[in-house]
Chains A and B, each alone.
Chain A
Amino acid sequence: MIEKVLKKVDVPFPLYQIDIINSDDEMLKAISDELGLSLSVDEMRRIKEYFIAKGRNPYDIELQALGQAWSEHCCYKSSKYYLKQFIFNIESEYVISAIKEDAGVVEFDEDHAYVVAFESHNHPSAIEPYGGAATGIGGILRDVVCMGAKPVALIDPLFFGKPDFPHSVLPKGTKHPLYLLSGVVAGIRDYGNRVGIPTVSGMIFFDNSYLTNCLVNVGCIGIAKKSNIVPSRAGGEDDIFILAGGLTGRDGIHGVTFASAELKETSEEESRGAVQLGNPIIKEPLIHACLEVIEKKLITGMKDLGGGGLSCAVGEMALAAGFGARVFLDRVPLKEPDMAPWEIWVSESQERMMITAKPEMVDEVLYVFEKWDVPATVVGEVKAEKTLEVYYKDFKVYDMDIEFVTSGPEYCRSYLPKKVEVKGEERINPPKDYLRVFKDMLQHPNVASREWVIRQYDHQVRASTILRPLQGRINRETHGDSAIIKPTESWRGLAITADVNPWMTKIDPFWGTASSFDEMIRNLIAVNSKPHSFVDCLNFGNPEKPERMGEFVESVKAMGWMARGINLPCVSGNVSFYNETPHSAVAPTPTLLGIGIIEDIRNAITSYFKRVGSSIVLVGETEAEFGGSVYSAVTGQKSYLVPRTSPERLKTYSDAMLESFKEFKVLACHDISGGGLAIAIAEMCFGKGLGAEIDLRGIAGDAHVKLFSESNTRWIVELPEEDAQGFIAFLMERGCRAFEIGCVSKDSISFNDSNIAFEMGVSEAEELWRNGLSRYVV
């Protein structure tokens, strides 16, 4: 219907002028829809007013640029209001840059900073799992490299529908969870391994709310000399824009607008072009070349071309510096020669970086890129006036004020807080057969060994991985709590963990998020690191629906409450809305990536039992809290009581634990999470094939609560027998509770309480746990 407002401009290339000045609301809507802008009528009206004031109609490239800049993905229009209110500005003197740039920058030691970024690549991965996940890795690496940092670790939390979901009832247009899992893991593997950055942490979670919207979150941590940190902005007037990296093609057009709408049955056919193609063998030298021009101080600014392509990168780099820019689009090296100017401008082709440099440095910059066989081209210049002009074959195709383009709307969307069903005192029954429940838990896909995935990632390249995700006997390891990387020559290390519990957030977004935060801190403490910062990747449904917005607001509120309470700064993050189809919306999934500092990596604590006869101590308080638990899943009992926590309690325990590690020879430490105490003990046994004799009679309460509840702020600690009582007294003096619950033994895991007792051979239990996930995959 918009043909009548489209006018081909008389130039020797495809360019249209669109008559929006004379368009009514209906036509404005049609323009947005048919050009794929994903803008609302209100937003279109604002554009119309702008062009009325300018006295002319926009070209297609100008409308496309606004569609990119004002997308949810680029300007966070639905989330910013709440993020500002709850999460931003947690004061910390060691944060160098939070939120403002492509990645967070935090002091590591006197000379170094670590750089961290975390993003979702959900929609592309649902359509094309291999390419979507691979380019997710590519994008997050660029976010870290463009700050001047060398990437040292990758982190990949993944969420899929249940692995045994029957093919016959898959919703139309949906790919099977196992197909998605294999594709996504292969994509991460082939990209991450090829660029030579270790994948050291992550998670895999199965729940049918992810059936039509799998989630692929990717995080990256880098290390930089503080003096090498590069801003994502131009240095000054007359600086030259240099585009480096891969060629620009039609892949990835409308990636951000596609990511800012719900997926539907036909998304595959319509949006395949929005999924970019990755090439790690351009990326690997691109990283080297970028780091070389930074090390040699040849450049003034650098920004990766991610969502929105050139359109977003040029504008943001110029505006952040307080300038404007002039760009010559016909200089951009293309994959396909017949691309229209607007396509070049918004393409999200991978492996590209925008650099600004002083004119006298340009030749030297180009030499470095040529040496690495990476194409690099001068495409524009910085100018004083704050407007952005784009030329194509000497014709000005774009002329707008940068402040207008980048002043995306911000909404305070209405929301409905979720009503959590609590029916008085909740009664969760003990199981008929404890051993059966224990076995079902061990082989549950959300509990079982992740070895099948972890081994496909090179987690040791760069030779700086100190604690790997798998720990214990060679070839028969167990899970660790956090990975540790030693990024510099000093003994100081970075502990890394990724956590969220979607079963809990689904029932109760507030307490579920608080629990996820608690788990993140527990994992950092368990390896003997001090929690230092965190980033979030917030995956939710359609924010235009008040109940979805309610989930988001509750979740962000909880995160802010916990983070502020223990004074942990949030240094970067990403919001991914519209993870929703007519079939379902994803469980609220605020994935958290936690970073801790360990002063001396030689004091790192691993998760598995070391020697027969040593004492096993439970630290923390156990309540009947089964909401979102593995126990409620395997016994089929509905529970709404998601575990509670508080920042005060978490801080008291965390500080006491870290202090105790200095005083006592702790042999192993593991946090208690999915499956409760019973599963934590079992995982600690598997690392070295040792057993455990657990006696819970010294603790009040029901056996099934003590064994399977997932109460927060708890750990299992192994200590030499003679130290156990001293350790417990040490914790009690600091206001914590701790109980000696047994000892490490040889061949079997046994649990005893006043009314119940059950036992299982370690190797038999281990086999269930090892095959729980791998039985579904080849």
Chain B
Amino acid sequence: MEPRIAVLRIEGTNCEDETVKALKAAGAFAEAVHLKQFYSDMIKESEKRKITDYTGIVIPGGFSAGDYVRAGAIFSARMKSVLKRDLEEFINNDFPILGICNGFQVLVELGALPGFEDKLSEKPEIVLAINNSNRFECRMSYLRHENRGKCMFTKGLDNRVVVYPVAHAEGKVVFPKGMEGIYIDRLVENDQIVFRYVDENGDYAGYPWNPNGSIYNIAGICNAKGNVLGLMPHPERVMHEWSYLDCEWSPEGHGDGWIIFKNMVDYIEKL
């Protein structure tokens, strides 16, 4: 199918431009679409959109609606109220959804991740809690790719370490108290763990390598089908070799973020 990708925006999402650019660089048709364009009566005919206009969705980073409640809570509530059915169908029809940073928070609030079942869960099963440092932090982070093949966004990464920047205040993956082991086992068993924070030697490590205190050093996970990925770090910010000019890291060819978008496009083309 033709890769036609919507980058969803509402007030406060703020990474949509570079995300659209990243998708275009990987060969997709991509546009930033305001959530209102799917449902509001005041929108002009030429700007109205339907989910079925697209074959992929990205929820970009930012501070949707200010994140004054829980990060992503308001954006996901609005999406749920107008698009719940459509989204479930979209996922079940194998179309890919990517959530970056605030987008990951939205997918979790929406119940699309961890996505053990084929519908959105009623309540969020994960929380992206405030960082252990208790403040917003922006830094480059080393991530080890650990997915064994389920996640369609990271095909070909094998066991490589990549460097993506993180920039968030609420990125610590937390599972229901007392159930942590069960959740981790299930995610590992289902091959839903995608990225884990490591240090410069590729080993699991604490702060600042794990920038927020995430359990099991989790940086990104996919759903059980492998077509929904949420991650805190920002691949769209490191699309080029020269994205690393000022730091000690040399990517192979493109920037490390490129492969995520390229895989998304390739995957849709084969659908």
Contacts and interface: CB of A to CB of B under 8 A. Distances in A.
Interface in A481-495: none
B63 interface: yes
Contacts of A477: 247
Which among A280, A284, A285, A466 has the greatest number of chain B C-beta atoms within 10 A? A284
A471 B11 contact: no
B12 A194 contact: yes
Interface stretch (A113-121, A367-375, A439-447): A367-375
A286 to B, nearest CB: 9
A181 B199 CA distance: 31
B237 A463 contact: yes
Nearest to A473: B248
A53 B136 CA distance: 60
A461 interface: yes
A370 B42 contact: yes
A466 B136 CA distance: 21
A455 B36 contact: no
A162 interface: no
A324 interface: no
A604 B236 contact: no
A187 to B, nearest CB: 12
Interface string B130-174: 000001111111100000000000000000000101010000000
A466 B242 contact: yes
B63 A281 contact: yes
Given A285-B11, A461-B167, A606 B245 contact: yes
A133 to B, nearest CB: 15
A280 B68 CA distance: 11
A271 to B, nearest CB: 27
Contacts of B68: 281
Interface string B210-247: 00000000000000000000000010111100110111
A162 B15 CA distance: 37
Nearest to A186: B135
A362 to B, nearest CB: 16
B66 A455 contact: no
A195 B63 CA distance: 8
B138 to A, nearest CB: 5
Contacts of A473: 200, 247-248
B17 A281 contact: no
Nearest to B74: A281
B60 to A, nearest CB: 10
B200 A372 contact: no
Contacts of B61: 461
Nearest to B169: A193
B80 interface: no
B135 A474 contact: no
Contact of B14 (A196, A457, A472): A196
Nearest to B236: A463
Contact of B136 (A189, A284, A602): A189
B21 to A, nearest CB: 7
A480 interface: yes
Nearest to B207: A475
A14 to B, nearest CB: 34
Which of A371, A464, A688 has the largest count of B CB atoms less than 10 A from its CB?
A: A371
A392 to B, nearest CB: 30
Interface in A465-522: 466-468, 471-475, 477, 480
B246 A480 contact: yes
Interface in A585-628: 601-602, 604, 606
Interface in B53-75: 61-63, 65-68
B43 A371 contact: yes
A601 B237 contact: no
A371 B34 CA distance: 9
B209 interface: yes
B270 interface: no
Given A371-B34, A602-B245, A463 B239 contact: yes
Contact of A371 (B12, B17, B42, B249): B42
Contacts of A471: 246-247
B103 to A, nearest CB: 14
A284 B12 contact: yes
Which of B21, B44, B61, B242 neighbours the largest number of chain A CB atoms within 10 Å of its CB?
B242
B163 A474 contact: yes
Nearest to A602: B242
A284 B14 contact: yes
B139 A281 contact: no
Contacts of A459: 138
A281 B245 contact: no
Contacts of B11: 281-282, 284-285, 372-373
Contacts of B43: 371
Nearest to B140: A474
A604 B245 contact: yes
Contacts of B163: 474
A468 B136 contact: no
B195 to A, nearest CB: 16
B246 to A, nearest CB: 4
Contact of A458 (B17, B138, B142): B138
Interface in A557-603: 601-602
A767 to B, nearest CB: 15
A92 interface: no
Contact of A462 (B18, B65, B141, B243): B18
Contacts of A414: none
A653 B244 CA distance: 29
Nearest to A286: B11
A284 B63 CA distance: 10
A174 interface: no
A646 interface: no
A475 B208 contact: yes
B142 A457 contact: no
Contact of B245 (A460, A464, A467, A688): A467
Q: Which 6 A-B pairs have CB atoms at the shortest separation, nearest pair first? A: A196-B14, A463-B18, A281-B66, A463-B237, A471-B246, A194-B63
Interface of B: 11-12, 14-15, 17-18, 21-22, 34, 36, 42-44, 47, 61-63, 65-68, 135-142, 163, 165, 167, 200, 208-209, 234, 236-239, 242-243, 245-249
6 contacts: A196-B15, A281-B65, A285-B11, A474-B140, A475-B200, A480-B246
Interface of A: 189, 193-196, 279-282, 284-285, 367, 370-373, 454-464, 466-468, 471-475, 477, 480, 601-602, 604, 606, 688
Given A460-B237, A463-B238, A466-B245, 14 more contacts: A189-B136, A196-B15, A280-B12, A281-B11, A281-B65, A281-B66, A284-B14, A367-B44, A458-B167, A462-B17, A463-B15, A467-B246, A472-B246, A474-B140
